[in-house]
Amino acid sequence: MLNIKNLHVKLEEEDKQILKGVDLTVEAGKVHAIMGPNGSGKSTLSYVLSGRDGYEVTEGEATLEGADILEMEPEERAAAGLFLAFQYPVEIPGVGNMTFLRTAVNAQRKARGEEEVSAADFLKLIRERAKALKIDAEMLKRAVNVGFSGGEKKRNEILQMAMLEPKMCILDETDSGLDVDAMKLVAEGVNALRGTGRGFLVITHYQRLLDHIKPDVVHIMADGRIVKTGGPELALEVENNGYADILAEVA
Protein backbone atom coordinates (compact mmCIF):
# COMPACT_ATOMS: atom_id res chain seq x y z
CA MET A 1 0.00 0.00 0.00
CA LEU A 2 2.44 2.65 1.25
CA ASN A 3 6.11 2.28 0.35
CA ILE A 4 8.74 4.62 1.73
CA LYS A 5 12.31 4.12 0.65
CA ASN A 6 15.39 5.85 2.00
CA LEU A 7 13.46 9.09 2.53
CA HIS A 8 15.66 12.09 3.32
CA VAL A 9 13.99 15.39 4.14
CA LYS A 10 15.38 18.76 5.10
CA LEU A 11 13.67 22.01 5.93
CA GLU A 12 13.24 24.29 2.95
CA GLU A 13 14.13 27.44 4.90
CA GLU A 14 17.12 26.22 6.84
CA ASP A 15 19.84 23.71 6.31
CA LYS A 16 18.37 21.26 8.77
CA GLN A 17 18.06 17.58 7.94
CA ILE A 18 15.07 16.03 9.72
CA LEU A 19 14.50 12.68 8.07
CA LYS A 20 17.69 10.82 7.40
CA GLY A 21 16.71 7.74 5.43
CA VAL A 22 13.31 6.36 6.42
CA ASP A 23 12.37 2.91 5.11
CA LEU A 24 8.85 1.69 5.74
CA THR A 25 6.22 -0.43 4.03
CA VAL A 26 2.62 -0.63 5.16
CA GLU A 27 0.61 -3.44 3.61
CA ALA A 28 -3.13 -3.30 2.89
CA GLY A 29 -5.19 -4.26 5.93
CA LYS A 30 -2.26 -3.80 8.32
CA VAL A 31 -1.71 -1.42 11.16
CA HIS A 32 1.80 -0.14 11.70
CA ALA A 33 2.60 1.93 14.74
CA ILE A 34 5.42 4.43 15.00
CA MET A 35 6.73 5.44 18.38
CA GLY A 36 9.73 7.53 19.16
CA PRO A 37 11.05 10.37 21.29
CA ASN A 38 9.81 13.94 20.88
CA GLY A 39 11.38 15.64 17.91
CA SER A 40 12.47 12.43 16.21
CA GLY A 41 10.62 13.30 12.99
CA LYS A 42 7.31 11.43 13.21
CA SER A 43 5.08 14.39 12.40
CA THR A 44 7.51 15.56 9.75
CA LEU A 45 7.14 12.20 8.03
CA SER A 46 3.36 12.53 8.10
CA TYR A 47 3.49 16.09 6.73
CA VAL A 48 5.90 15.20 3.96
CA LEU A 49 3.71 12.30 2.93
CA SER A 50 0.63 14.51 2.82
CA GLY A 51 2.38 17.30 0.94
CA ARG A 52 2.78 20.21 3.31
CA ASP A 53 5.01 23.09 2.16
CA GLY A 54 8.31 23.85 3.81
CA TYR A 55 10.08 20.56 3.37
CA GLU A 56 12.47 19.41 0.71
CA VAL A 57 12.94 15.77 -0.18
CA THR A 58 16.63 15.39 -0.88
CA GLU A 59 16.68 11.66 -1.46
CA GLY A 60 14.44 8.63 -1.56
CA GLU A 61 10.84 8.00 -2.59
CA ALA A 62 7.33 7.36 -1.37
CA THR A 63 4.60 5.58 -3.32
CA LEU A 64 0.95 4.85 -2.64
CA GLU A 65 -0.22 1.76 -4.51
CA GLY A 66 2.74 2.24 -6.80
CA ALA A 67 2.05 5.91 -7.58
CA ASP A 68 4.72 8.46 -6.70
CA ILE A 69 2.93 10.65 -4.18
CA LEU A 70 5.78 13.07 -3.59
CA GLU A 71 5.14 14.57 -7.02
CA MET A 72 1.46 15.17 -6.29
CA GLU A 73 -0.36 18.20 -4.89
CA PRO A 74 -1.82 17.63 -1.42
CA GLU A 75 -5.36 17.39 -2.85
CA GLU A 76 -4.21 14.80 -5.38
CA ARG A 77 -2.71 12.70 -2.63
CA ALA A 78 -6.00 12.90 -0.77
CA ALA A 79 -7.94 11.86 -3.86
CA ALA A 80 -5.47 9.00 -4.32
CA GLY A 81 -6.53 7.76 -0.89
CA LEU A 82 -4.11 9.24 1.61
CA PHE A 83 -5.42 10.71 4.84
CA LEU A 84 -3.62 12.38 7.71
CA ALA A 85 -5.29 12.87 11.07
CA PHE A 86 -3.37 15.93 12.27
CA GLN A 87 -1.53 16.04 15.57
CA TYR A 88 -2.81 19.61 15.81
CA PRO A 89 -6.07 19.96 13.83
CA VAL A 90 -6.45 23.44 12.34
CA GLU A 91 -9.26 25.82 13.28
CA ILE A 92 -10.99 27.46 10.34
CA PRO A 93 -13.29 30.27 11.44
CA GLY A 94 -16.15 30.98 9.05
CA VAL A 95 -16.14 27.58 7.34
CA GLY A 96 -18.85 25.27 8.64
CA ASN A 97 -17.82 21.73 9.48
CA MET A 98 -20.59 20.30 7.33
CA THR A 99 -19.80 22.50 4.32
CA PHE A 100 -16.15 21.63 4.67
CA LEU A 101 -16.76 17.91 4.72
CA ARG A 102 -19.20 17.92 1.85
CA THR A 103 -16.84 20.03 -0.23
CA ALA A 104 -14.01 17.61 0.55
CA VAL A 105 -16.00 14.46 -0.16
CA ASN A 106 -17.27 15.81 -3.45
CA ALA A 107 -13.90 17.22 -4.50
CA GLN A 108 -12.33 13.80 -4.02
CA ARG A 109 -15.15 12.10 -5.89
CA LYS A 110 -14.84 14.55 -8.72
CA ALA A 111 -11.07 14.04 -8.90
CA ARG A 112 -11.64 10.31 -9.18
CA GLY A 113 -14.28 10.75 -11.87
CA GLU A 114 -17.10 9.66 -9.56
CA GLU A 115 -20.48 11.29 -9.17
CA GLU A 116 -21.01 13.84 -6.41
CA VAL A 117 -23.00 12.71 -3.41
CA SER A 118 -26.37 14.40 -3.04
CA ALA A 119 -27.00 16.75 -0.15
CA ALA A 120 -29.59 14.38 1.31
CA ASP A 121 -27.38 11.29 1.10
CA PHE A 122 -24.50 13.20 2.55
CA LEU A 123 -26.57 14.40 5.46
CA LYS A 124 -27.75 10.91 6.21
CA LEU A 125 -24.26 9.49 6.09
CA ILE A 126 -22.64 12.14 8.21
CA ARG A 127 -25.36 11.92 10.86
CA GLU A 128 -24.85 8.19 11.07
CA ARG A 129 -21.07 8.36 11.26
CA ALA A 130 -21.06 11.28 13.66
CA LYS A 131 -23.40 9.39 15.93
CA ALA A 132 -21.06 6.42 16.00
CA LEU A 133 -18.32 8.76 17.20
CA LYS A 134 -20.67 10.50 19.64
CA ILE A 135 -20.29 13.81 17.83
CA ASP A 136 -23.49 15.77 18.26
CA ALA A 137 -25.29 17.58 15.47
CA GLU A 138 -24.48 20.96 16.99
CA MET A 139 -20.76 20.33 16.51
CA LEU A 140 -21.32 19.60 12.84
CA LYS A 141 -22.87 23.02 12.40
CA ARG A 142 -20.01 24.90 14.01
CA ALA A 143 -16.99 26.24 12.16
CA VAL A 144 -14.27 23.66 11.57
CA ASN A 145 -12.60 22.92 14.92
CA VAL A 146 -13.38 26.40 16.27
CA GLY A 147 -14.07 26.23 19.97
CA PHE A 148 -13.72 22.43 19.95
CA SER A 149 -12.03 20.87 22.95
CA GLY A 150 -8.81 18.97 22.35
CA GLY A 151 -10.63 15.64 22.34
CA GLU A 152 -13.44 16.96 20.13
CA LYS A 153 -10.89 18.03 17.55
CA LYS A 154 -9.41 14.55 17.49
CA ARG A 155 -12.82 12.96 17.14
CA ASN A 156 -13.56 15.34 14.32
CA GLU A 157 -10.43 14.09 12.55
CA ILE A 158 -11.73 10.55 12.79
CA LEU A 159 -15.14 11.64 11.52
CA GLN A 160 -13.42 13.14 8.48
CA MET A 161 -11.57 9.87 7.99
CA ALA A 162 -14.81 7.93 8.23
CA MET A 163 -16.47 10.20 5.66
CA LEU A 164 -13.58 10.29 3.20
CA GLU A 165 -12.95 6.53 3.39
CA PRO A 166 -9.26 6.75 2.54
CA LYS A 167 -7.09 3.78 1.65
CA MET A 168 -4.11 4.77 3.71
CA CYS A 169 -4.58 6.55 7.03
CA ILE A 170 -1.87 8.23 9.02
CA LEU A 171 -2.94 9.03 12.56
CA ASP A 172 -0.59 11.46 14.27
CA GLU A 173 -1.10 11.22 18.02
CA THR A 174 -4.85 10.96 17.60
CA ASP A 175 -4.99 9.40 21.06
CA SER A 176 -3.53 12.38 22.88
CA GLY A 177 -6.32 14.40 24.44
CA LEU A 178 -8.89 11.62 24.13
CA ASP A 179 -10.68 10.30 27.16
CA VAL A 180 -10.85 6.53 27.64
CA ASP A 181 -14.30 6.17 26.09
CA ALA A 182 -13.42 8.34 23.11
CA MET A 183 -10.30 6.31 22.56
CA LYS A 184 -12.41 3.17 22.36
CA LEU A 185 -14.70 4.83 19.81
CA VAL A 186 -11.75 5.91 17.71
CA ALA A 187 -10.23 2.44 17.92
CA GLU A 188 -13.54 0.92 16.82
CA GLY A 189 -13.55 3.27 13.86
CA VAL A 190 -10.04 2.27 12.90
CA ASN A 191 -10.71 -1.42 13.34
CA ALA A 192 -13.81 -1.23 11.18
CA LEU A 193 -11.83 0.32 8.34
CA ARG A 194 -8.92 -2.00 8.83
CA GLY A 195 -11.07 -5.00 8.04
CA THR A 196 -11.78 -3.54 4.59
CA GLY A 197 -8.18 -3.56 3.44
CA ARG A 198 -7.05 -0.10 4.50
CA GLY A 199 -3.54 0.56 5.67
CA PHE A 200 -2.77 2.45 8.89
CA LEU A 201 0.24 4.24 10.21
CA VAL A 202 -0.47 5.12 13.80
CA ILE A 203 1.90 7.55 15.48
CA THR A 204 1.61 7.39 19.24
CA HIS A 205 3.51 7.76 22.46
CA TYR A 206 1.38 5.37 24.45
CA GLN A 207 0.56 1.72 24.64
CA ARG A 208 -3.02 2.60 25.61
CA LEU A 209 -4.27 3.15 22.06
CA LEU A 210 -2.48 0.02 20.93
CA ASP A 211 -4.47 -1.99 23.49
CA HIS A 212 -7.52 -1.20 21.38
CA ILE A 213 -5.93 -1.16 17.95
CA LYS A 214 -3.65 -4.16 17.89
CA PRO A 215 -0.76 -3.13 15.65
CA ASP A 216 0.73 -5.69 13.29
CA VAL A 217 4.09 -3.98 13.33
CA VAL A 218 5.71 -1.44 15.64
CA HIS A 219 8.53 0.87 14.55
CA ILE A 220 10.74 3.03 16.68
CA MET A 221 11.84 6.30 15.12
CA ALA A 222 14.80 8.20 16.46
CA ASP A 223 16.69 11.10 14.95
CA GLY A 224 15.02 10.83 11.57
CA ARG A 225 15.34 7.08 11.06
CA ILE A 226 13.44 3.91 11.86
CA VAL A 227 15.89 2.36 14.27
CA LYS A 228 13.98 -0.71 15.29
CA THR A 229 11.02 -2.71 14.02
CA GLY A 230 9.16 -5.45 15.82
CA GLY A 231 5.81 -6.83 16.88
CA PRO A 232 3.33 -5.42 19.43
CA GLU A 233 5.72 -6.42 22.23
CA LEU A 234 8.01 -3.57 21.19
CA ALA A 235 5.39 -1.06 22.25
CA LEU A 236 5.13 -2.73 25.64
CA GLU A 237 8.87 -2.52 26.04
CA VAL A 238 8.77 1.21 25.37
CA GLU A 239 5.89 1.64 27.79
CA ASN A 240 7.82 -0.12 30.54
CA ASN A 241 11.40 0.98 29.93
CA GLY A 242 11.32 4.12 27.79
CA TYR A 243 13.62 4.56 24.84
CA ALA A 244 17.00 4.47 26.59
CA ASP A 245 17.63 0.73 26.16
CA ILE A 246 16.53 0.65 22.54
CA LEU A 247 18.58 3.66 21.61
CA ALA A 248 21.65 2.30 23.39
CA GLU A 249 21.21 -1.00 21.64
CA VAL A 250 21.15 0.52 18.13
CA ALA A 251 23.82 3.17 18.75
Partner 1 sequence: MGLPQQKMDATEARLATLSLPQGGWTAATRADALSRVRAMGLPSRRDEYWKYTRPETLVDAPAPQAAIFSPDEAPIFGEIDRLRIVFVDGVFDPDASDDLELEGIVIDRLAESTAHDIHWAKDLYGTLEARGQDPVERPLAALNTAFASDGALIHVKKTPSKAISLIYFHNDETSDAILHHVIKVDPGAEVTILENGPAAARFNKCMEIDLADTAKLHHVRAQGRDHERRAATHMFARLGAESVYKSFTLTVNGRLTRNEVVIELTGDDAVAHVAGACVGDGEFHHDDTVFVTHDAVNCESRQVFKKVLRNGATGVFQGKILVKEGAQKTDGYQISQSLLLDDDSQFLAKPELEIYADDVACSHGSTSGAIDEDALFYLRSRGVPESEATDLLTLAFLAEAVEEIEDEALSDEIVSRLSAWLVRHSRG
Restricting to residues 60-99, which ones interact with ligand ATP according to CB under 6 A?
Answer: 87
Neighbours of 88 (CB within 10 A): 12
Strands 17-26 and 2-11, how do they pair? antiparallel
- For residues 183 and 139, what is the distance between their CA atoms, to the nearest angstrom? 19
Would you say how long the chain is, in residues?
251
Taking a C-beta distance cutoff of 8 angstroms, is the pair 200, 26 a contact? yes
Distance from C-alpha of 37 to C-alpha of 244, rounded to nearest angstrom: 10
Of 43, 97, 174, 204, which lies in the binding site for Mg ion, with binding defined by CB under 5 A?
43
Closest CB to ligand ATP among residues 107, 247:
247
180 makes contact with partner 1 (CB under 8 A): no
Among 14, 73, 233, 249, binds partner 1 (CB under 8 A): 73
**Minimum distance between the CB of residue 129 and partner 1, rounded to whole angstroms?**
15
Of positions 156, 160, 174, 204, contacts partner 1 by CB under 8 A: 160
Stretch that binds ligand ATP, among 36-44, 60-68, 149-157, 243-251 (CB under 6 A): 36-44
Is-contact 38 55, C-beta < 8 A? no
Candidates 34-42, 100-108, 161-169, 207-215: pick the segment binding ligand ATP (CB under 6 A): 34-42
Q: Which stretch binds Mg ion (CB under 5 A): 4-12, 38-46, 179-187, 212-220?
A: 38-46
CA distances from 125 to 54, 82, 232 (A): 36, 21, 34
Phi, psi of 198 (to 5 degrees): -80, 155
Q: How far is the CB of 173 from Mg ion (least distance, A)?
A: 6
Q: At what angle do helices 119-132 and 97-111 cross, to 10 degrees?
A: 120
Please say whether the beta carbons of 80 and 72 come within 8 A. yes
Least Cα distance to 82 among 67, 92, 98, 95 occurs for 67
Binding to partner 1 by residue 131, rule CB under 8 A?
no
Q: Which does 103 bind (CB under 5 to 8 A by kind): Mg ion, partner 1, ligand ATP, none?
A: partner 1
Considering only 1, 2, 18, 234, the residue that binds ligand ATP (CB under 6 A) is 18
Nearest to 112 by CA among 166, 161, 159: 166
Binding residues for partner 1 (CB under 8 A): 50-53, 73-75, 77-79, 83-84, 86, 89-95, 99-101, 103-105, 107-108, 111, 143-144, 160, 164
Residues that bind ligand ATP (CB under 6 A): 11, 18, 36, 38-44, 54, 87
Residues that bind Mg ion in the complex, under the rule CB under 5 A: 42-43, 87
